[in-house]
Structure formats: structure tokens, C-alpha cells
């Protein structure tokens, strides 16, 4: 039946992402191998040696970034759908991102509404991580990462905003295009593509509004399961 088909497709995202990793990581690995081979030469000037080691390390870092953008949390298990409390999940994601925020002098402001969505926990964490990481990286001289949630009928709406460098219209248009990055060697251009695919997998939608030098807001809409209005938990840190 049609229902069954959609479910099977949904179940495949984790394995799709995993196979993308093995593909993407092959390049930096090949480069590292090349440099190690060069280092095997006996009479190699010290300068050259240092250069090769540095380049090899930067390729390893790149491989790590790629893995980070795809599946930071994934254990080699099947994707499983469960009920997720958005408040709990957002708090968990913030614990992971906090060290990076601190390093960039980024304050975090939150107002979370507890409500339930359905999907894979690891994928939801990955999506939140990729978006919040970009926001923090957009504020190299500090700023505030704001995350708040509210109900909108049968949806939970999550706003994630920064007051960072912002994006041009072209950057906004190209957001989520594989390999599209403005971060040079430091970027993978994979984080938003992965985030978009996860939102899609959750039957949700995401939109962006951004102004250059002012900041960016991502709005995630996800189908929710309840509409009970527990009080909004508001914290500042
Ligand atoms: P990466 O972070 O490796 O560059 P992403 O796919 O995560 O790749 O993001 C793609 C591009 O989208 C970034 O290089 C940046 O130009 C832009 N971008 C994403 N989020 C933001 C943001 N919060 N503020 C400004 N630019 C952003
Ligand atoms: Mg990114």
C-alpha cells in the first residue's frame, strides 16, 4: 500500500546518510594517504615534512567535519521512530552545542514549549546541531543564539535565530545545496542539506529569513501530536 511505501522510504534516511559519509570521506582519506607516502621519503627537508603533516591533519579534520555534519550521534542501528519531547530534545542539543557557543562568546536564550513530535531522535539531534552550529559560526565576535518554540494549531514551530553576519539573497537561495559553503576549506556545505532532508523526513518544513550583517532566523514547522498547553518554560543562560 501507499502508506507502507512512505514508511520504507522514511526508514532509509539513516542508511542513506551513512553511505554518503563513506563516499564523502574517501577523498580526504586519499589525500592523507598521499601525504603519508610523501613523508616516507628518506631525504625530505624538515620544512616539507612539516608542511605535509599539517596538510594531512587538515584533511583529517575535514573528514571529521563531514562525519559531524552527517551523523554525529548515530549508532549503527536502524532508524527508529519514537515520540520526542521537543523541549527535552532542544535542551539535549544545547548541551552539545554549549562549548562551541562559549568559545565564540555566544549567549543562549531559550523559551521552550514542551510538546510531542514523532521521528528518529538521532536525526532530530543532528538537524538541530547543524542549524545551531551554523548560527554560532555566523557570530564569530559573539552574539545571542535564540531558540523558542510555540504551538500553531497542529504544528510545533521552532525558531532558531542569531544576530550574526546574515546572508545575501543568493546565499539564502543556495542554502541546502550540497557542497555550497562560504566558509572555504573550513566548510563542508553539507550541514544544511542534511538538516533539510531530516526535516523532510519528519514531514515538516523549514524556512529562512536573513538580513546581511543583522542575522538569520530559521523557522522549523513540525507536525505535533498534542495540543495541551503546558506553561512555557523560559530560561536564560
Ligand atoms: P558549512 O557550514 O559547512 O558551510 P552548511 O550546509 O552548514 O555548510 O551551510 C551552508 C552555508 O549556508 C554556509 O556556508 C553559510 O554561508 C550559510 N549559512 C547557514 N547558516 C547560516 C547562518 N545562521 N548565518 C549565516 N549564514 C549561514
Ligand atoms: Mg554548517
**Residue from 181, 185, 206, 218 whose mutation best tests the ligand 1 pocket (most atoms within 8 A of CB):** 181
Give the Å distance between the CA of 38 and the centre of ligand 1.
34
- pLDDT of 227 higher than 60: no
Looking at residue 23, its pLDDT comes to: 87
Q: What is the pLDDT of residues 156-185, one digit of tens each?
A: 999 999 999 999 999 999 999 999 999 998
Looking at residue 125, its pLDDT comes to: 95
pLDDT class for 211, splitting at 50, 70, 90? very high
Give the Å distance between the CA of 199 and the centre of ligand 1.
17
Ligand 1, atom 2: nearest CA belongs to which residue?
187
The C-alpha cell that represents 222 in the structure block? 513540525
- pLDDT of 54 higher than 70: yes
pLDDT class for 13, splitting at 50, 70, 90? confident
Please state, in angstroms and rounded to a whole number, the distance separating the CA atoms of residues 171 and 209: 11
**Residue from 128, 166, 184, 192 whose mutation best tests the ligand 1 pocket (most atoms within 8 A of CB):** 192
pLDDT class for 235, splitting at 50, 70, 90? very low
What is the complex's ipTM, to 2 decimals? 0.99
Please state, in angstroms and rounded to a whole number, the distance separating the CA atoms of residues 69 and 123: 11
Give the Å distance between the CA of 48 and the centre of ligand 1.
34
Measured CA to CA in angstroms, residue 128 lies from 31, 54, 86, 111 at distances of: 31, 31, 11, 15
Q: What is the DSSP pairing of strand 82-85 with strand 116-119?
A: antiparallel
Closest atom of ligand 1 to CA, residue 215: 24
Looking at residue 188, its pLDDT comes to: 95
How high does pLDDT run on average in the chain? 88
Better-scored residue on pLDDT, 114 or 9:
114
Closest atom of ligand 1 to CA, residue 164: 24
Q: How much of the chain exceeds pLDDT 90, in percent?
A: 73
Ligand 1, atom 12: nearest CA belongs to which residue?
175
- State mean pLDDT over 15-29: 87
pTM: 0.86
Looking at residue 196, its pLDDT comes to: 96
Across the strands, what pairs with 145?
108
Cβ < 6 A, ligand 1 pocket? 130, 134-135, 138, 162, 164-167, 171, 175, 180-183, 187-193, 216
Please state, in angstroms and rounded to a whole number, the distance separating the CA atoms of residues 144 and 215: 10
- pLDDT of 8 higher than 60: no
Q: What is the pLDDT of residues 69-117, one digit of tens each?
A: 988 876 656 677 899 999 999 999 999 999 999 999 999 999 998 889 9
Q: Phi, psi (5° rounding) for residue 149?
A: -130, 150
Q: Phi, psi (5° rounding) for residue 151?
A: -85, 145
- pLDDT of 11 higher than 90: no
Amino acid at each position: 500500500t501507499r502508506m507502507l511505501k512512505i514508511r520504507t522510504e522514511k526508514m532509509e534516511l539513516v542508511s542513506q546518510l551513512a553511505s554518503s559519509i563513506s563516499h564523502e570521506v574517501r577523498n580526504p582519506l586519499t589525500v592523507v594517504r598521499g601525504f603519508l607516502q610523501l613523508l616516507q621519503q628518506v631525504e625530505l627537508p624538515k620544512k616539507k615534512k612539516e608542511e605535509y603533516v599539517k596538510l594531512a591533519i587538515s584533511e583529517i579534520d575535514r573528514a571529521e567535519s563531514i562525519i559531524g555534519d552527517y551523523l554525529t550521534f548515530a549508532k549503527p542501528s536502524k532508524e527508529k521512530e519514537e515520540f520526542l519531547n521537543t523541549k527535552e530534545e532542544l535542551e539535549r542539543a544545547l548541551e552539545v552545542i554549549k562549548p562551541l557557543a562559549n568559545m565564540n562568546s555566544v549567549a543562549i536564550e531559550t523559551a521552550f514549549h514542551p510538546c510531542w513530535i514523532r521521528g528518529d531522535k538521532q536525526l532530530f539531534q543532528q538537524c538541530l546541531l547543524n542549524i545551531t552550529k551554523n548560527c554560532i559560526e555566523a557570530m564569530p565576535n559573539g552574539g545571542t543564539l535564540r531558540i523558542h518554540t510555540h504551538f500553531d494549531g497542529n504544528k510545533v514551530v521552532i525558531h532558531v535565530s542569531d544576530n550574526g553576519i546574515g546572508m545575501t539573497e543568493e546565499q539564502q537561495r543556495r542554502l541546502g545545496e550540497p557542497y555550497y559553503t562560504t566558509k572555504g576549506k573550513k566548510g563542508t556545505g553539507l550541514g544544511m542539506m542534511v538538516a533539510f532532508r531530516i526535516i523532510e523526513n519528519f514531514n515538516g518544513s523549514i524556512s529562512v529569513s536573513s538580513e546581511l550583517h543583522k542575522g538569520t532566523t530559521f523557522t522549523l514547522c513540525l507536525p505535533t501530536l498534542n495540543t495541551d498547553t503546558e506553561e512555557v518554560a523560559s530560561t536564560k543562560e
